[in-house]
Structure 1
Amino acid sequence: MPSVVKTIKERNVMNVKNTGHTLISFVLNLLGIGIMLYIGIKYYNDPNPNVVAFTRYAFLLAGFGVIGFFTIDYFDNRQINIKPKRFNEFDTTRFIMVAGVLFIISMYVDFILKVTIKYALSDIDQVMFYVFSGVCEEAFFRAFLINMILGVTTKKGQKPRFFVIVTAVLLSSVAFMSAHLVVYGSNMPMLISTLVGGIILGSFYVIFRDIAANMLAHSLKNAVGYVNLVRFG
């Protein structure tokens, strides 16, 4: 791992646009880690296997959130700080674009595939899980994993090639889908929907390099999806 970090640092290919935290992403990331730990600990000894699945994924998400929290700032200014030296400005237009495309395509895919899912936690905990899981997932699969793939596959001083960027988005999306096997199991419509969502979010991330827009769009989509699929599905 140290050699990978060193390679990324030397090649310095991710810093063409600001990739660091906004105040919004910073706060959301911390809240996401805390809430995932809360859910994991609260339901740790629950006998219901469906609840256990959510508990395991909650702990996994907390770890994802921690990794993403530190690497978001690292990829921006090559330092790992508890608090960034500066926060990037939040761009409302980018958020609207990401959220709009994500909603339209994802909801269409969910409708075509007749996506359904059952919830296992209490109402308030399930809402918090769906909303803040998106934050931790964006921190890891987009801000960390995509940047790491680009860093180790791009020569020093060069910008990533289009093929490399596409590969990074696809690999991170497959990893994103695979992580959901813990809670979705063999629910193929949900897994396909997750893969499509990962490709959309990954694509916007490499275009805008705005993790705050991704986090908010993902969380909002999850919240609406919860209302649509769980409460009224």
Structure 2
Amino acid sequence: MKNQYENALSQIFLKLATTNYDTFDSFIKFNIEAVKISLRTIKSDFYVDNKQSRYYSTLIDNLDTNNIDVINERKINSEDYPKDGSIMQIFESLNKSTSPSKVNYLESYYYLNFHKARSKTLSWLPFALFHIGNRFILDLVRIQNNINEIRMSNQKSTRIRWLGKKTHIGYIFSMLAQEGYIETPELPGGEVNYTAFARLIKELFEVDVAEGTLRKYLNPLDTKFEENQKTFEKEQFHLPNVKRVN
């Protein structure tokens, strides 16, 4: 089992090494969901006495099972039985008898410790497999977190550091968009998607501003933008339309 576990992890790493970097997240998520489906099945196997368990089984629990081997070894001689069919009448009379049997039958041929050991042995297997599978999910999550850390580290090293104030970047990029210098993300109706716009800026620039706050600085209809506009106009900031400077 340990070898199979390590081999499964090796297959994950091998697949990641030969897969497009952009599809890492979807690949890991797919495998996590696949393991979860198997765990739901294994969970129903926890107890061998549960009929939903794939290991469910019943015991032939009868005192006579102790004598099966003896019965099979007996030599049957037809000459020992009556020829007139009276033997069948004897069986029928015994079958119809209402008198209590004089034989003291045991309730169970098996000892209590046997039942306990059987249940523990057969129920332990799916229980152990469940925890092994759960550990595999934790390892996949750890791999996913490591990938995200590497991705974030790469993004930080390649982003442009913004030296102005967080209010400046929103106003300037909004003006660049309004005057036709850059193309912005759009909503289905054609309006500017300021949330996506703010997210793109944060991916490209190292700036200490929340995405939701930056969205307000970008939107000309927001009071945050109007406050910045007054500051920039006071300093005679002007950006001509792109068509005027062709």
TM superposition score normalised by structure 2: 0.21
Q: Flag the structure with higher helix content.
A: 1
TM superposition score normalised by structure 1: 0.22
Greater relative contact order (Cα < 8 A, sep 6+): 1
Greater C-alpha radius of gyration: 2
